[in-house]
């Protein structure tokens, strides 16, 4: 994996669709970047996902030596979007829960058992 120290925002796709729907239904056009505006590091994401899976992330995730990220932090400023009444409904933790739950549903108990053949995250 690249750098765990990169910070980015994690926005649920359903929240982004709601924001887009709000925008297309405005009388005036707005140029807005859709996002939560709340940054979390890649490491925080990995930790949360592995916590939900009941696994120790540090035994499964290794950073690529010499990797140089394009940016140290990338996130939006949702002030204008929020002024139109939009707020993200799914939190960082809930997004991880949704995504880990979808993988578990797809692959069954092998996903959490650590057995050979379980998919990687």
Predicted pLDDT at 88? 96
Helix 92-107 to helix 42-53 angle (10° resolution) is 50
For the chain, how many structural domains are there in total?
A: 1
- pLDDT exceeds cutoff 70 at 6: yes
- Supply the range of the domain harboring residue 53: 7-113
Predicted pLDDT at 121? 47
Task: Specify the residue for token string 């939009």.
Answer: 86
Cite the DSSP H helix spans in the chain. 13-24, 42-53, 79-83, 92-107, 110-113
User: Structure tokens of 59?
Assistant: 């035994």
Lowest mean pLDDT among 35-39, 45-49, 70-74, 108-112: 108-112
**pTM of the entire predicted model:** 0.79
Q: Average pLDDT for residues 64-79, to the nearest whole number?
A: 93
Is residue 55 one of the residues assigned to a domain?
Answer: yes
Helix (H) or strand (E) holding 52: helix 42-53
């Amino acid at each position: 994996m690249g750098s765990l120290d990169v910070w980015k925002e994690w926005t649920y796709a359903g929240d982004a669709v709601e924001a887009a729907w709000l925008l297309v239904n405005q009388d005036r056009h707005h140029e807005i970047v859709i996002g939560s505006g709340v940054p979390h590091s890649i490491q925080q994401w990995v930790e949360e996902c592995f916590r939900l899976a009941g696994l120790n992330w540090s035994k499964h995730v290794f950073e690529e030596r010499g990797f140089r990220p394009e940016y140290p932090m990338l996130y939006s400023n949702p002030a204008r979007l929020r002024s139109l009444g939009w707020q993200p409904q799914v939190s960082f933790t809930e997004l991880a829960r949704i995504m880990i739950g979808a993988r578990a549903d797809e692959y069954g108990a092998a996903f959490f058992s650590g057995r050979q053949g379980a998919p990687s995250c």
